[in-house]
């Protein structure tokens, strides 16, 4: 059986209200009892005063006592004579016998005199008087005294009950409204809407819950985008695999034909154009191999390779194109050992891709510079120092609208670009325990990568 949270909260509050009402009622009853005891104490003191009196009890004395106590008096002598402060005369006396000790006097049975109700009690005065004194206290005065004693407790209890009930209803209504908003947000997330919800006030557990729901929605949105990109990569790998295989065969055939032609050419012929064609075909082969590798999450091979030599090879492949476009390609090989453990084929593709992007961004008349340096601080998780490669260019830099998503698949600022180069580079570097980043300042675009010298420990293999 479903129980609303509002009623689950109201049940203990209602129990608390019942307790408040019970305490208020008990306090009112105790106040009324106290008022009754005070009244009887007052009447006993009057009886004591009159019982111990050494003067005759006359009508004047009784009238004075009436003015002091508010009670009516009836004095019956030993001879049956009556002396009373009220008119008409009392005819219906209580059935109970009067007490002989004033300390035992109680306002017991009620009598009606002239249409007014009195609480009556009698006491036999001490000898030698021997008279019987009846004290009649107006019930109306008693009710007034009773109400004055009870009213504070009832008023405080009623106000507290109403205020508590109103506060409980307001809090449960507000809590239920905030919970309904969280319910609507989770339903929107289930429907595919991952937009964040406004966080409710005040800053409490429900606000923390709303923040957690927003974080969950953000992560789900990222996961959905990652799944979409993975699916697109998988489909692209399937489609491009066959096409790239055919193109690569054709490029390989063309390269072999040019190499055979170059071998048959006379020694004195200018071979520069043939070398340019061979280098461009080799670049095309590398690019096609990248398409063939899409969707193949094979672990990179582990062998010693020189990062400086990989840069030399990439520069040699790209220099003819840069010379043709009048791009100043700057590279100075280091005089220190830049050997590390990794997959030379994949790392070479990364370097070539970064240089190609930089040359395209610099454009005719621009410049590209490659820097290789050692990093003293090791990368996280690797005890050995790292090697840093920086590729700088004079181009305008990535468009602002894609600057934060450069390393995502299919994100590119080139009109004819596919957007897989940087994503592939990031994937390769992360598989080698490295990292990739970029920045721009002083009119220069800078892409950098860092690799640990020994990455075998990442995969648990030995180089």
d(CA 356, CA 366): 13
pLDDT given for residue 388 in this prediction: 92
Average of per-residue pLDDT across 433-458: 83
Examine the pLDDT at 461 and tell me if it is beyond 50: no
Residue 337's φ and ψ, nearest 5 degrees, are -75, 120
Work out the average pLDDT over 329-340: 89
Q: Which pLDDT score, from 0 to 100, does residue 456 have?
A: 45
Q: What is the mean pLDDT of residues 250-268?
A: 76
pLDDT > 90 in the chain, percent: 12
Higher per-residue pLDDT: 9 or 406: 406
Percent helix, strand, coil in the chain (nearest 5)?
55, 15, 30
Under the banding of pLDDT at 50, 70 and 90, the label for residue 365 is very high
**Contact status, residue 414 vs residue 360, Cβ threshold 8 Å:** yes
pLDDT at 326: 92
Pairing of the two strands 328-331 and 367-375: parallel
pLDDT on residue 230 = 72
Work out whether the CA dihedral 316, 317, 318, 320 comes out positive or negative: positive
Q: How confident is the model at residue 5 (pLDDT cuts 50, 70, 90)?
A: low
Tens-digit pLDDT profile for residues 351-364: 988 999 999 999 99
* DSSP states of 375-425: ESSPPTT-SS-EEEEEEEE-S--S-GGGGGGTTSTT--SSTT--S-HHHHH
**Mean pLDDT value of segment 53-69:** 80
Pairing of strands 444-452, 386-393: antiparallel
Provide the pLDDT for residue 257.
80
Residue 227: which residues within 8 A CB-CB, separation 6 or more? none
pLDDT tens track for 148-200 = 777 777 787 778 777 777 777 777 777 777 778 888 888 888 888 888 888 86
Can you tell me the mean pLDDT for 389-417?
83
pLDDT category of residue 289 using cuts at 50, 70 and 90:
low
Mean pLDDT of the 244-271 span: 74
Residue 457 has a pLDDT of 42
pLDDT band at 372 (very low <50, low <70, confident <90, very high): very high
Task: Assign 287 a pLDDT band (cuts: 50, 70, 90).
Answer: low
At residue 88, does pLDDT exceed 50? yes
Percent of the chain with pLDDT over 70: 82
Q: Which of 303, 406, 403, 282 is nearest to 354 (CA)?
A: 406
- What distance in Å separates the CA atoms of residue 120 and residue 138, rounded to the nearest whole number? 9
Rounded CA-CA distance 16/12 in Å is: 6
pLDDT at site 436:
92
Burial class (CB in 10 A: 0-12, 13-18, 19+), 241: middle
* Domains present along the chain, CATH in parentheses: 5-157 (3.30.450), 299-459 (3.30.565.10)
CA atoms within 13 A on the CB side of 126: 12
Instruction: Check: CB of residue 157 under 8 Å from CB of residue 137.
Output: no
DSSP secondary structure, 250-295, as one string: HHHHHHHHHHHHHHHS-TTS--HHHHHHHHHHHHHHHHHHHHHTTT
DSSP 103: G
Residue bearing the bigger pLDDT, 5 or 328: 328
pLDDT, position 260: 78
Count of all residues that appear for the chain in the document: 463
The average confidence (pLDDT) of the chain is: 78
pLDDT of 97 over the 50 cut: yes
Q: Residue 200 is inside which H or E element, if any?
A: none
Q: For residue 8, what pLDDT is reported?
A: 60
pTM (2 decimals)? 0.47
Nearest to 426 by CA among 441, 444, 405: 405
pLDDT of residue 459: 42
Q: What is the mean pLDDT of residues 48-53?
A: 78
Residue 237 burial (C-beta neighbours within 10 Å; 0-12, 13-18, 19+): middle
Q: What is the DSSP string of 324-392?
A: HTT-EEEE---SS--EEEE-HHHHHHHHHHHHHHHHHHH-TT-EEEEEEEEESSPPTT-SS-EEEEEEE
**C-beta neighbour count of 151 within 10 angstroms:** 12
Looking at residue 300, what is its pLDDT?
65
């Amino acid at each position: 059986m479903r129980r609303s949270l509002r009623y689950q909260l109201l049940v203990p509050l209602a129990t608390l209200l019942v307790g408040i009402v019970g305490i208020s009622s008990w306090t009112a009853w105790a106040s009324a009892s106290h008022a009754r005891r005070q009244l009887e104490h007052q009447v006993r003191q009057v009886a004591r005063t009159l019982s111990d009196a050494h003067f005759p009890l006359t009508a004047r004395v009784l009238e004075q006592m009436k003015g002091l106590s508010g009670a009516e008096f009836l004095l019956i002598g030993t001879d049956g004579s009556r002396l009373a402060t009220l008119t008409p005369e009392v005819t219906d006396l209580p059935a109970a016998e009067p007490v002989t000790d004033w300390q035992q006097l109680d306002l017991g049975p009620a009598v009606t005199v002239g249409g007014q109700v009195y609480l009556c009690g009698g006491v036999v005065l001490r000898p030698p008087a021997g008279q019987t004194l009846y004290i009649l206290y107006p019930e109306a005065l008693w009710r007034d005294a009773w109400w004055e004693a009870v009213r504070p407790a009832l008023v405080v209890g009623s106000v507290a009950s109403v205020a508590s009930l109103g506060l409980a209803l307001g809090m449960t209504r507000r809590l239920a409204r905030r919970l309904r908003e969280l319910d609507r947000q989770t339903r929107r997330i289930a429907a595919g809407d991952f937009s964040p919800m406004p966080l409710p006030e005040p800053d409490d557990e429900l606000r923390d819950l709303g923040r957690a729901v927003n974080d969950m929605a953000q992560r789900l949105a990222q996961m959905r985008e990652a799944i979409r990109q993975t699916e697109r990569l998988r489909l692209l790998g399937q489609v491009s695999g066959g096409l790239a295989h055919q193109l690569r065969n054709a490029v390989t055939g063309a390269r072999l034909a040019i190499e055979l032609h170059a071998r048959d050419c006379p020694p004195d012929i200018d071979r520069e154009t043939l070398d340019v064609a061979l280098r461009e075909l080799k670049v095309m082969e590398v690019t096609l191999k990248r398409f063939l590798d899409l969707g193949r999450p094979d672990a990179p091979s582990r062998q010693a390779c020189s990062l400086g030599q990989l840069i030399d090879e990439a520069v040699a492949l790209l220099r003819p194109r840069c010379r043709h476009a009048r791009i100043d390609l700057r590279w100075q090989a280091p005089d220190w050992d830049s050997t590390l453990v990794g997959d030379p084929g994949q790392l070479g593709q990364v370097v070539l891709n970064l240089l190609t992007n930089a040359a395209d961004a610099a454009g005719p008349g621009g410049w590209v510079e490659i820097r290789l340096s050692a990093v003293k601080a090791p990368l996280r998780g690797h005890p050995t120092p790292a090697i840093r490669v920086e590729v700088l260019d004079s181009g305008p830099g990535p468009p602002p609208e894609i600057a934060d998503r450069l390393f995502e698949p299919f994100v590119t600022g080139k009109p004819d670009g596919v957007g897989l180069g940087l994503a592939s580079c990031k994937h390769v570097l992360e598989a080698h325990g490295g990292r990739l980043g970029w920045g721009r300042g002083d009119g220069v675009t800078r892409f950098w990568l860092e690799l640990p010298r020994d990455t075998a420990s990442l995969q648990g293999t030995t180089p």
